[in-house]
Amino acid sequence: MNPERIIIFDTTLRDGEQSPGISLNSFEKLEIAEQLARLGVDVIEAGFPVSSPGDFEGVQKIARGVSGVTVCALARAIENDVRTAWDAIREAERPRIHTFISTSDIHLQHQLRKSREEVVEIARRMVALAASLGDDVEFSAMDATRSDPDFLAAVLRVAIDEGARTINIPDTVGYAIPTEFAEFIRGQYERVPGLNDVVVSVHCHNDLGLAVANSLAAVEAGARQVECAVNGLGERAGNASLEEVVMILKTREASLGMGAAVNTAEITRTSRLVSQLTGYEVPPNKAVVGKNAFAHESGIHQDGVLKERTTYEIMSAASVGRGHSDIVLGKHSGRHALKSAMEELGYNLSEDELNQTFARFKKVADKKKHITAVDLEALVSEEVRTLSDIYELKSYEVSSSSEFIPTSQVIIEKEGERLMGKSFSGGSMESIFMAIDDAVGTKGKLKDYQVHSVTEGKDSLGEVRVVVEVGDKPYAGTALSIDVIEASAKAYVRALNNAYRAGAVN
């Protein structure tokens, strides 16, 4: 018997982006959305268009540029939200409006300050409005798990009558526990027979660490859409983690009788990309995507795995895209070798992208003996990201010693013009950042600074991520280099490019 298909609704770019400190520009959102489409999720919740012009632009870019997937936009049950959401997604191949209103008495009394009757009426009007704009409408009853089940049922009935095709029952505050949540969902099926004609969805937060367990319990009780985010990103403790939900469905498909149409071999790449662009590191022991998820430390385990992998592994590293690639390039490798390595990794680079990546590859290969698949992926993503940048770091010099104050000089190119900057100040990093500010003519405040090595070994590429505040808004930038000072300077310049796009620098 074919397994029943569970719809994977990804909310990395909406609820995930609500995690503190994440600031993705519209190009980065598009890059993540393209990867989510490659991963094969069914729905991408691309953002909350009414919340800012930047969010609107990001959602619109995704709607216009990403195909083969439903593109969804969030809207409160407010007319302007619903219309703005529709304007942002109307050009998508498969657009979906997702509108929501709270149904718990706690929210009604303290936040909405509305009566139950008023909430029913608002839900009725806003779902009807959404359904008049597009035919794929999702309705969410926020804080459903703390709502009176009879009142919740009354609201869901109205939403279905007005044309919602997906009904989402969120555990907004992560309060539910699996057995109780499954009962709650069954209770709604009993009260609202119309739920059998629509898709029931769940959206679980992880405040008690139960988001994935609750999602699974709901699926066993009849839900057919799970809302989740890559690396479990989201408000507070996050959402159900996409990779865990998907790998549970794959690994236990036979017992559950349910599966997802996701290309699991893209999971690792997606997780890395999201971590790199959001700056949220994946804990080493995180299920499926953590660095140690497939590492065997104890002698007994190693012995078992060497004899037969399944002794201690319930899924293979290759099934989530962590199989060892044989790709190793070096300084003698040519353009052709690079092109075929990139194709093997799933990248079809344009002529321009290949030229830029090759030039960059040669520079790195001069200093690093072996360039692996992981290095290549990191390099190519960075090259593609910088193609639309206006400021480019052309050269830099920093002098630092134990005795004297560091001095820095930089040359930045902006549309053919060379901008020089210099500084004398406290630390060598501070000094180079100030020299960049001087060249660009701005004053950034460094809010976050992280360094990671991409692979192992002393000659590993270093990846630096900075968050720079310009005006009162944060802008993030990441960059790679064998040299950490160079990576830091480039990351800072990337953040200023993001600030430039948002109009915060000239």
Letters for 236-275 (x = contact with Zn ion by CB under 5 A, - = none) are ----------------------------------------
Integer Cα distance of 277 and 283 in angstroms: 16
Name which position in 8, 10, 15, 123 contacts ligand KIV (CB under 6 A): 15
- List residues bridging with 277 in a β-sheet: none
CB of residue 234 vs ligand KIV: minimum separation in angstroms?
A: 8
Interacting residues with ligand KIV between 182 and 221 (CB under 6 A)? 203, 205
- List residues bridging with 259 in a β-sheet: 5
Of 14 and 61, which has the nearer Cβ to ligand KIV?
14
Could you tell which of Zn ion, ligand KIV, none binds residue 142, using a CB distance below 5 to 8 A set by kind? ligand KIV
Q: How many residues at the interface with ligand KIV, by CB under 6 A? A: 9
DSSP three-state, residue 155: helix
Of 203 and 465, which has the nearer Cβ to ligand KIV?
203
Largest alpha-carbon pair distance within the chain? 78
Could you tell which of ligand KIV, Zn ion, none binds residue 100, using a CB distance below 5 to 8 A set by kind? ligand KIV
Letters for 87-106 (x = contact with ligand KIV by CB under 6 A, - = none) are -------------x------
CB of residue 141 vs ligand KIV: minimum separation in angstroms?
A: 8
Torsion of CA 143, 47, 32, 462, to 10 degrees: -80
Of 54 and 170, which has the nearer Cβ to ligand KIV?
170
Integer Cα distance of 270 and 276 in angstroms: 10
Of 75 and 468, which has the nearer Cβ to ligand KIV?
75
Integer Cα distance of 95 and 409 in angstroms: 49
CB-based contact 433:444 (threshold 8 Å): yes
CB-based contact 217:182 (threshold 8 Å): yes
CB of residue 14 vs Zn ion: minimum separation in angstroms?
A: 8
CB of residue 193 vs ligand KIV: minimum separation in angstroms?
A: 23
Name which position in 99, 147, 166, 172 contacts ligand KIV (CB under 6 A): 172
Of 100 and 361, which has the nearer Cβ to ligand KIV?
100
Could you tell which of ligand KIV, Zn ion, none binds residue 140, using a CB distance below 5 to 8 A set by kind? ligand KIV
DSSP three-state, residue 205: strand
Helices 53-65 and 79-89 cross at an angle (nearest 10°) of: 40
Distance of CA 459 to the CA centre of its chain: 29
CB-based contact 99:127 (threshold 8 Å): yes
Q: Which stretch binds ligand KIV (CB under 6 A): 2-10, 89-97, 165-173, 175-183?
A: 165-173
CB of residue 204 vs ligand KIV: minimum separation in angstroms?
A: 8
Query: Residue 421 is inside which H or E element, if any?
Result: strand 417-424
The first and second tokens of residue 440, run together, are 């660009």
- Annotate 157-184 with DSSP letters as a single string: HHHHHTT-SEEEEEETTS---HHHHHHH
In this structure, are strands 391-399 and 4-5 parallel, antiparallel, or unpaired?
unpaired
Of 71 and 327, which has the nearer Cβ to ligand KIV?
71
Task: Tell me which amino acid residue 204 is.
Answer: C
CB-based contact 263:277 (threshold 8 Å): no
Q: Which stretch binds Zn ion (CB under 5 A): 12-20, 117-125, 147-155, 288-296?
A: 12-20
List, in order, residues 6 or more apart from 259 with CB less than 8 Å away: 3, 4, 5, 6, 249, 250, 253
CB-based contact 176:209 (threshold 8 Å): no
Letters for 408-427 (x = contact with ligand KIV by CB under 6 A, - = none) are --------------------
Binding status of residue 140 toward ligand KIV by CB under 6 A? yes
Q: Which stretch binds ligand KIV (CB under 6 A): 117-125, 164-172, 181-189, 441-449?
A: 164-172
Integer Cα distance of 35 and 268 in angstroms: 11
CB of residue 350 vs ligand KIV: minimum separation in angstroms?
A: 37
CB of residue 70 vs Zn ion: minimum separation in angstroms?
A: 18
Distance of CA 23 to the CA centre of its chain: 11
Binding status of residue 15 toward Zn ion by CB under 5 A? yes
Q: Which stretch binds ligand KIV (CB under 6 A): 107-115, 167-175, 312-320, 427-435?
A: 167-175
CB of residue 172 vs ligand KIV: minimum separation in angstroms?
A: 3
Integer Cα distance of 192 and 154 in angstroms: 8
CB-based contact 436:398 (threshold 8 Å): no
CB of residue 493 vs ligand KIV: minimum separation in angstroms?
A: 35
Could you tell which of Zn ion, ligand KIV, none binds residue 465, using a CB distance below 5 to 8 A set by kind? none
Of 75 and 374, which has the nearer Cβ to ligand KIV?
75
Of 242 and 491, which has the nearer Cβ to Zn ion?
242
The CB density around residue 269, as the number of other CB atoms within 10 Å, is 20
State the residues that interact with ligand KIV by CB under 6 A. 15, 100, 140, 142, 168, 170, 172, 203, 205
State the residues that interact with Zn ion by CB under 5 A. 15
